[in-house]
Amino acid sequence: MDGYRKLLLANKAWVQECLQIRPDYFERLKTDQKPEYLWIGCADSRVPADRIIGTDPGELFVQRNIANLVIHTDFNMLSVLQYAVEILKVKHVIVCGHYNCGGVKAAMSHQNFGLINKWLRHIKDIYRFYKHELLTIQDETARLNRLVEINIFEQLRNISETTIVQRMWKKEQQPYLHGWVYDLESGYLKQLYLFTPESEIEDIYRYDFDALKE
């Protein structure tokens, strides 16, 4: 059987299962979504957002890309962030990276991957900023995993530096920004960082909303 057909069969089985638990399972979801969380994760197939945190349809707004990056010129990401934060009013934004991330690993190498070099360049920049710390780590896997953690921290910074989040922090004291890392070998998540609406923003990235009468 063609491999993809099993996906469609699995969908049928899933619908039946959902309806057995709750006959109105889909009825209640058809009009609106009110997720409390925005998940920004790696596109890696081994880190399925819904599965690892047990959320149901309607609970999680999701954006995934290679190495869970938040780039300030990426209109796809920024549109997702703006919609989630301003319209859906999510209370929590979770950036979830994972150890042994292929994207981060590729960025640490000298290999030429073509177009994707431009995406991975952002991680190379982070490597350069933290080179002194990273080069003290002898073990290659440990160094990669430390860069995975630092990368998560830097993406939280990028989110906090957007006008989208700064405005909401000021107006509604949300969202909270969480940095988590997923361990592929154990299946467990680890909380690494938390940015709250009271967190300091590096001065040069701070916007003056009063002047704009917002």
Binding site for Co ion (CB under 5 A): 42, 44, 101, 103
Selecting among 5, 18, 24, 42, the annotated active-site residue is 42
Selecting among 28, 46, 72, 206, the annotated active-site residue is 46
Shortest reach from residue 48's CB to Co ion, in Å: 12
Give the residues across from 195 on adjacent strands.
Answer: 177
Shortest reach from residue 177's CB to Co ion, in Å: 19
**DSSP per-residue codes, the chain:** --TTHHHHHHHHHHHHHHHHH-TTTTGGGSS----SEEEEEE--TT--HHHHHTPPTTSEEEEEETT----TT-HHHHHHHHIIIIIS--SEEEEEEETT-HHHHHHHS----TTHHHHHHHHHHHHHHTHHHHTT--SHHHHHHHHHHHHHHHHHHHHHTSHHHHHHHHHH---EEEEEEE-TTT--EEEEEEE-TT----GGG---SGGGT-
Shortest reach from residue 50's CB to Co ion, in Å: 17
Selecting among 96, 98, 157, 178, the annotated active-site residue is 98
Nearer to Co ion, 42 or 150 (CB): 42
Asked about 44 being catalytic, the answer comes back as: yes
Asked about 122 being catalytic, the answer comes back as: no
Nearer to Co ion, 49 or 168 (CB): 49
Shortest reach from residue 69's CB to Co ion, in Å: 10
Nearer to Co ion, 148 or 165 (CB): 148
Nearer to Co ion, 47 or 177 (CB): 47
Asked about 42 being catalytic, the answer comes back as: yes
Active site residues: 42, 44, 46, 98, 101
